[in-house]
Amino acid sequence: MPPDEAVVLEAAPAHMELRASRRQLVLEAAGIAVSALGFGFVYGLAARDAGFSPVEVLAMSVIVFAGAAQFAAVGYVAGGLAWPGILLLTALLNARHLLYSAALAPLLRDRPFAERAVMAHLLTDEAFALAMAHFRRIGRADAWGYWVAAIGATFIPWNIATMAGVLVGGSIPEPNRFGIDVIFPAAMVGLAIGLISGRREIVAAIVGAGVGVAVALVAGPAIGIIAGGLVGPAVGLAIPAARAAERAPLGTGRSAERYAMPGSHFDDEERTDESRREDPPT
């Protein structure tokens, strides 16, 4: 067999694996895109009701592109919160992206700086989850897959739906007649429930809501939002790790498994077995 033909045959299985994973990624991205269309439409309605112009709504979706933080910012603006408070609370809400980017950085370090900067701007929860699942299936990074997850699944449908929400919402004279006025609070509740993964989040949500309402009754909604947003998470973090009932605590192999490439580390049980073999009891 000629050497060139042997190389092609050896490369074929990996290529087929890549193609299969990309097909699966496209199907998964399509499902996420449908969700992005729904939430983007709701965001457009909420932003319009908060007094944003169509240009401002579209600019926020393109420049900020932060999903849940955009929902929160619209609610803060509607509640009369000052811009320093809006910046602080939305920054805290988006702090999780520091972990996402840290997990992706080693996998994409070979890409040009400008490309990685655009990747960082388009990074969302959904893009991270889809891209990492694709990377793990093929055992390496794939820039094409990241762009499908970031642009095809979220950026394009989100911005299209945002404009649709603004324009269609303008033609609805009384949204509350159709129950549209409850879509935004319902969407925020759904987002909050999706973030709950243990007792710390539950405690933070209950304490934050209680403190926010209590302070709002005394000092006004704007101060109540800030107080609840700061006190709730602080109390949640104070819950001991032993009682947090976390399925993948930070610093453990199970937590790292969510973001690491296959074979890049041992899980807790494997590490324990390895240490026992290296250091047998005396």
Q: Dump pLDDT digits (tens) for 195-226.
A: 566 677 788 888 888 888 888 788 766 677 77
- Give me the mean pLDDT over the 15-28 stretch: 84
pTM above 0.75, yes or no: no
For residues 146-157, give the mean pLDDT: 94
- Supply the mean pLDDT for the chain: 76
More confident residue, 71 or 150: 150
DSSP state of 197: -
End-to-end CA gap in the chain: 57
At residue 247, the 3 state secondary structure works out as coil
Confidence of residue 150 (pLDDT cuts 50, 70, 90): very high
Rg (CA), the chain: 23
* Residue ranges per structural domain of the chain: 18-180
Residue 110 CA from chain centroid, whole number: 24
- CA atoms lying within 13 Å on the CB side of residue 35: 14
Write out pLDDT tens, residues 45-102. Answer: 888 888 888 899 999 999 989 887 888 888 888 777 788 888 887 887 788 788 889 8
In our burial notation (b when 16+ CB lie closer than 10 A, e otherwise), range 185-214 reads: eebbeebeeeeeebebbebbbebbeebbee
Q: Is the pLDDT of residue 140 over 80?
A: yes
pLDDT, position 147: 96
User: For residue 239, what are the contacts with CB-CB under 8 A and spacing of at least 6?
Assistant: 199, 200, 203
Compute the distance between CA of residue 55 and CA of residue 69 in angstroms, rounded to an integer. 18
